[in-house]
Structure 1
Amino acid sequence: MNEISISVIISTYNAEAWLEKVLWGYQTQTLENFEVVIADDGSGPKTRELLEKMQKEVKYPIVHVWQEDDGFQKSRILNKAIVASRGNYILMSDGDCIPRADFLEVHDRYKEEGYFLSGGYYKLPMDISKMITKEDILTGRCFDMEWLKENGIKSTFKNNKLTASGNKSKFLNFITPTNASWNGHNSSGWKKDILAVNGMDERMQYGGQDRELGERLFNYGIKSKQIRYSAVCVHLDHKRGYKNQESIDKNNAIRKHTRDSKQPWTPYGIEKRAK
């Protein structure tokens, strides 16, 4: 195995059916030398059994980083996964985002010292999310707009996320009104930069903890590049039982302090100390 160029960190929690589809997506990648680090926020034994089975069937190494179930503690498990990763470049995504075959190749092509990359996703309805098979993923059919339309997807501007390429995707990246923020489902950056700001703020539970990491990277002097129309993944639908307004409000206050203070380092990250 060549030296690992990208460590893909995928968060998951008791969602084996979706996670299996995502792992088949990484089997199709045109970029070869990567690892997948599963940031498992307290799943039961079925997730471990799935990963043991998949490791025998896929071409890339899978590292399983697990912690006891203590409610929604995604920031904490992401920090453990960052420490466990072996590549010098990290891509964060979720266990409900299936990557297109060129997904990692695009991140690898656009990566640049002093920057992180901000991607998006194409959200699928629940019926298609359930219907997608291993074959649909391995053939790339689940990214094909004609196939999706045959299964009920309407024609909208967002379909450009799947169909744009070359100069058109570059142009759409340039004109999109969406900020090039750190998005937990599709963003990447240098491990040394993420460690320099001390990873995720573990006080933060659901709601914007990924954006806050990006805001501290900005404070550290890192810029961002928009690749939402170039690095393509489809997002499988699911319920969000962990979503609550109290957590969102608390996180918004932390984010405001991060922006106002211009501090890059969190004392609530990988290392538990002030700097």
Structure 2
Amino acid sequence: MQMQNANWIYDTTIILYALSIIGYFIDFLQNNRKANRMAFWLLSFVWILQSMFFFQRMIVTGRPPLLTPFEGLFFYAWVLVTFSLLLNWFFKIDFLVFFTNVVGFFIMSFNLFAPGEDTASSVSMSLISELLVIHVTMAFVSYGAFTLSFIFSMMYLLQYRLLKQKKWSKRLQRLGSLSVLEQLSFVLNMTGVPLLLLSLILGIIWAYIKVQAFSFLDVKVISSFIVLIVYSNFLYQKVAKGLQGKQMVFWNSAAFLVVLINFFLASTFTTFHFWYD
């Protein structure tokens, strides 16, 4: 019965998510404030249902639901919804929510095809600890920050082109100023880097203690450190060399591509992060 309720919540979430994105899309094309408000409240309800699904799964499995591919992608989508709602609340950048949740909806839909074990069959319960949960949580939050930073860069590029073409409209105003978009992109990367660093440190400590097969030469471990190095270099270029404008967009796009490779491709070849097999 609990699993049937969870499936119902997930299916309803997908439908409301789609309706919310349609509302934001209408607003994007027509500057329709009624559609924007409807989309916002639908997305808020999506967040509530996601949270309910998350806690219900925690009750069913008896552990933090973060350790399977299905759970990891779901938590990633939840992080994106949470970040987009908070940033829109504080900075009133409407189109951020639209672009971010196109990504979030894709992840939720893709997640329907991910392995969804009800128990951590790939991970012995004896290996699950608070250290592992914190490691996984911080990693996904950092990925969420990097994703939003990339979206801000794309919005910067769109705004730059509209300004260059002198296409003055309400859409131009609602995208946000170039300086704000650039600053928020930088701040999110600046937040994501230390979170990822701490996540890797905790993950290494946990693996060294708990996993006999742990190796620094594992594909997932190496690719995670590459992500950290690439984004650290981005911050260095920004702070020390004044990286800005279209150069910032290029560097941030390249860095996010590395994140995608790490998240989706490297997990296929890893022998250490075996619960993602």
Hey, which of these two has a bigger chunk of helix by percent?
A: 2
Hey, which of these two has a bigger chunk of strand by percent?
A: 1
Q: Which has the larger radius of gyration?
A: 2
- TM category (shorter chain) comes to under 0.3
Question: Could you tell me the TM-score, scaled by structure 2's length?
Answer: 0.24
